[in-house]
């Protein structure tokens, strides 16, 4: 299921829990609709979108974490597959976009924080950074958030980076994908592409 990757050198990946809006964001970035069901966990294998003349692919990885109606073993298997995929292609990934739901992310992180538990979102953020993959946290559904700055500062705190969030504009990108409001994400991604001398890919962001 995870061996469908087109033979492309450069890659940008979207990763995150189920139902945070990754597929909607993928549609905004590519102009191409992917099969997204109303229920979580519809994307079970990666969606790749590549442009024929370009040595570049955007990949929407399956959602991880709790999915109603999906057995825990299956959830763990999906998560393992995602981790293995990222490890295998880490050298090719120019930027990872970790998509979170701005409205619920703090509650979810806090609910899963215990002495033996690292919440998936926090764990994924540090995993990507350990692999030295430039990472942007796309904080989606911000149209539903009232206390915007406060919420983004709290997210920085949970991720282990010092608030205020505004000093992390290449890392924290508030967006509302379904309204097409993703300019802060595009700017953050371009920043990382530029650092890797890939301004040629700006046209996609």
Residue 80 in this model has a pLDDT that exceeds 70: yes
For residues 37-55, average pLDDT: 72
Residue 99 in this model has a pLDDT that exceeds 90: yes
CA-angle at 200, arms to 198 and 202, nearest 5°:
90
Residue 75 in this model has a pLDDT that exceeds 90: no
Which of the residue ranges 14-23, 44-53, 126-135 has the most confident prediction, judged by mean pLDDT? 126-135
Structural contact between residues 131 and 87, judged by C-beta atoms closer than 8 angstroms: yes
DSSP class of residue 204 equals G
Q: Does residue 137 sit in helix, strand or coil?
A: strand
For residues 76-97, average pLDDT: 94
Least confident of 89-98, 110-119, 130-139, 187-196: 110-119
- Select from 64, 44, 58 the least CA-distant residue to 5: 58
Dihedral (C-alpha) 151, 157, 134, 143: value to the nearest 10 degrees?
0
Question: 80 - beta bridge partners?
Answer: none
Number of residues written out for the chain:
205
Q: What totals of helices (H) and strands (E) does the chain contain, helices first?
A: 6, 6
Q: What is the pLDDT of residue 65?
A: 79
Residue-range domain boundaries for the chain? 10-204
Between CA 201 and CA 205 the distance in angstroms is 7
pTM: 0.93
**Average of per-residue pLDDT values in the chain:** 90
Secondary-structure class of domain 10-204 per CATH: alpha beta
For residues 117-130, average pLDDT: 91
Residue 40 in this model has a pLDDT that exceeds 60: no
């Amino acid at each position: 299921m995870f061996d469908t990757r087109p033979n492309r050198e450069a890659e940008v990946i979207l990763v995150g829990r189920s139902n945070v809006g990754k597929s909607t964001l993928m549609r905004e970035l590519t102009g191409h609709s992917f099969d997204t069901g109303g229920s979580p966990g519809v994307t079970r294998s990666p969606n790749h979108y590549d442009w024929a003349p370009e040595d570049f692919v955007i990949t929407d990885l399956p959602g991880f974490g709790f999915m109603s109606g999906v057995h825990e073993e299956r959830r763990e298997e999906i998560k393992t597959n995602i981790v293995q995929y990222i490890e295998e292609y880490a050298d090719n990934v120019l930027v990872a976009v970790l998509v979170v739901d701005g409205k619920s992310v703090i509650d979810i992180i806090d609910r899963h924080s215990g002495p033996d538990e690292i919440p998936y979102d926090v764990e994924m953020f540090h995993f990507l950074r350990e692999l030295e993959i430039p990472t942007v946290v796309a904080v989606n559904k911000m149209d539903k958030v009232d206390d915007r700055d406060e919420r983004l500062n709290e997210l920085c705190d949970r991720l282990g980076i010092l608030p205020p969030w505004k000093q992390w504009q290449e890392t924290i990108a508030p967006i509302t994908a379904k309204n097409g409001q993703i300019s802060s994400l595009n700017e953050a991604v371009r920043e990382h592409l530029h650092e890797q001398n890939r301004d040629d890919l700006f046209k996609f962001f």
